[in-house]
Structure 1
């Protein structure tokens, strides 16, 4: 055994009082004090375990990354809270990483009213406030997650939050029942990434309640906080539009009564690298709400940040990171368009949660992104229109072919043509059509690029539909996948949109090329450790020009110069070579390189039933 001197080169006899008594053949034995310094094995660097390898023994206890951005942010690094052992040891209120005594209530535990907030006023009870034991609840025991869409008065199978995410009851998936306040133990704030968390707010909890989230430096008064409202996004009376702007809507609930919806708190640079706590305080709610997945860094960047963008406007002006619950993107302040956007697509993002929702699927109310830093031009809706302010802008420019090469006349001179431009979504409506808040997010002009009308309604639209097909409803739930998409721009044309805003004049650059790359997992919620050499990836590369093509052309049209290849389909590696970005960089290098070479098209029924050959 490890605690006796039985190492092959040890000279001690069993029972020798001078023998080291622990750590034989382990790290302690090989230390100077352990006596085995000269017996250390030769270090083989090629056999070292990579930092992106998750050695958590129980998959159910894993966090967001191999080294979680916040320990036990998903409340799953626990023993079964209802087990006989936990009950016998009286540790049902012990949640690793979170403070046991952080919540205080009035004398009525069931009231859910907090005394920790200034807004709630002092307790009127004659008794001292009593701590509420934190309660973990299995997702399958939360009624709101079982709500299905109704059709003709009957439930539609496969439409509850649990079913859309294919949550397996055999797994360990807990959420915190939040009644008043709860605080995480001190941790080091990561170098980048917003704080994100998921909330489920049952319909009975909607009303005048609030949730205040605070990150505070333990060594100073430095802190940041934000108050979220437990009320729904406000609509106009006839349901034709939305009263709230995105900033206001991001503080309210929309999908949360039907499932877990993500919310976000941006973190200032002054807190980076500091030891801090994060606190959640509920006030004025008559029913508990549910908290889960408290982490830093966008879930849409689970597989990597392609350009290592950061939310630092002075040093990353042209690679500025914007994180939202709906997507993450890198913004270029000189070009006034995005470099790339990254987002997840699964059935919960594209399937309306309630038949009575007044959401208008094609509600294109484009708005300036007022969250951009000072010194960034806020693109206006009229920047995409002609002088009348009503029609799309048309420009005279060099005519190019389906590969983006100039088309020459008989004398060898470039031909010109008139090109009509539309507001092209990077993250499309078809991938974010479940509620009003999501629609507001994708209609911010930071998510829009000048895209030719013909390409927007042709090849590009066809590929967006292809991605959606992986997650759409089917008679077989096993075909409900999750797709991780990154889309972006490359190059700029020699024509541009003039900025129509007041003050310093600027322009909106027009990209020469548009591209997308995708990675498909066989079910929602899979992470880096689940990606294998058979995981499916694919890329699309196309010129942003006037070339007319049908939506199906991306998977049918051959390259005239290389008939063995499709014209628009590229491997992920090929698009990396063209753009300089590193996609899916959180994957182990060997697997990443293997899967990113693929140019063969697969469909949802091929994964994982018939994975492509390695």
Structure 2
């Protein structure tokens, strides 16, 4: 054998050893808590009691940024797929959230009583029917906002139903919902706060949905052609019944709230998706 052949064998050995040493470790599955924040943390919330108006709470069922001074979540983020939908009954166990730091006022099940506003879920009860525990988690008061009954039981209920219909048709949906401003109109009239001033009534309610075919590696599968639905409605009894009438851009919601939505996506993908108004079906 020639020296060139031996040199070839040596180089081949080095390449093979190098490739073996650089093998990528298998991707670790996301925890349920990580799934709920897959698209990013819109406000950079942390689980630090020193940031009382941007306090992060993560659960297997959803994640949220809570405002102690408003007594409501700033935003709630969750994932809807067939895995989350089952036959569990609605628990209706509205209650204070013991996960809040010691010394903070905890909104209770009766805090909205007589206000003219519903205890409006952010992450819906019907999105978490896999187990009774999952459903019960949606009834913590940190997941609620004072919501006009016509809004809660009208266009928002329809949008929630539509989300689950998409899932029944083979899709999965990542959702972020929040509210902002002060002053809504419920069945008893207009109010800026309830519960002796300890809970702020938002003026506007928004939601962003990212819709994908069911599959794996969800973040990598989101592209500039992915359907994104952004909605921003008034918190009012005079709200229109069709949620599709309130479609807007993610950019507009970001401008109104100061949040950075879909921040886990590549910048170019964000730019395209966030500037587009959805025109797809609403039922």
Asked whether the two chains share a fold, i.e. TM above 0.5, the reply is: yes
In structure 1, how many angstroms separate the alpha carbons of the residues matched to 2:60 and 2:143?
A: 14
- Deviation for aligned residue 1:576: 1.2
In structure 2, how many angstroms separate the alpha carbons of the residues matched to 1:517 and 1:431?
A: 15
- Deviation for aligned residue 1:450: 0.4
In structure 2, how many angstroms separate the alpha carbons of the residues matched to 1:298 and 1:492?
A: 31
Deviations 1:161-207 (CA, angstroms, capped at 9, x unpaired): xxxxxxxxxxxxxxxxxxxxxxxxxxxxxxxxxxx85xxxxxxxxxx
> Counterpart in 1 of 2:173?
483
Runs of 4+ in 1 over 2 A off after TM superposition: 524-528, 600-605
- Deviation for aligned residue 1:572: 1.3
CA contact (8 A) 1:345 1:482 kept: yes
CA contact (8 A) 2:39 2:263 kept: yes
> Counterpart in 1 of 2:276?
598
Using a 3 Å threshold, how does the CA distance of structure 1 residues 317 and 327 change in structure 2: closer, same or farther? same
CA contact (8 A) 2:228 2:278 kept: no
> Counterpart in 2 of 1:320?
55
Q: Note if 1:526 corresponds to 2:254.
A: no
Alignment of 1:272-291 (within 5 A): none
SS in 1 for 2:56: strand
Q: 2:243 aligns with which of 535, 545, 554?
A: 554
CA contact (8 A) 1:298 1:324 kept: no
> Counterpart in 2 of 1:360?
89
- Deviation for aligned residue 1:604: 10
> Counterpart in 2 of 1:70?
none
Q: 1:61 aligns with which of 26, 33, 44?
A: 26
> Counterpart in 1 of 2:86?
351
- Whichever of the two has the greater Rg, that structure is 1
- Deviation for aligned residue 1:554: 1.6
Deviations 1:339-398 (CA, angstroms, capped at 9, x unpaired): 00000000111233xxxxxx323x322011011101211111111113xxxxxx2xxxxx
In structure 2, how many angstroms separate the alpha carbons of the residues matched to 1:497 and 1:370?
A: 21
- Deviation for aligned residue 1:495: 2.5
Q: Note if 1:331 corresponds to 2:66.
A: yes
- Deviation for aligned residue 1:548: 4.9
Higher relative contact order (CA 8 A, sep 6+): 2
Q: 2:247 aligns with which of 569, 592, 601?
A: 569
In structure 2, how many angstroms separate the alpha carbons of the residues matched to 1:602 and 1:351?
A: 27
Q: 2:75 aligns with which of 330, 340, 348?
A: 340
Alignment of 1:162-177 (within 5 A): none
Using a 3 Å threshold, how does the CA distance of structure 1 residues 440 and 508 change in structure 2: closer, same or farther? same
Using a 3 Å threshold, how does the CA distance of structure 1 residues 349 and 604 change in structure 2: closer, same or farther? farther
> Counterpart in 2 of 1:381?
109
> Counterpart in 2 of 1:67?
none
> Counterpart in 2 of 1:301?
37
CA contact (8 A) 1:481 1:604 kept: no
> Counterpart in 2 of 1:204?
none
CA contact (8 A) 2:233 2:239 kept: no
> Counterpart in 1 of 2:134?
438
TM-score if structure 1 supplies the norm length? 0.40
> Counterpart in 2 of 1:466?
162
Deviations 1:199-235 (CA, angstroms, capped at 9, x unpaired): xxxxxxxxxxxxxxxxxxxxxxxxxxxxxxxxxxxxx
In structure 2, how many angstroms separate the alpha carbons of the residues matched to 1:347 and 1:330?
A: 25
Q: 2:192 aligns with which of 495, 498, 503?
A: 495
- Deviation for aligned residue 1:524: 3.8
Alignment of 1:241-260 (within 5 A): none
- Deviation for aligned residue 1:317: 0.9
SS in 1 for 2:117: strand
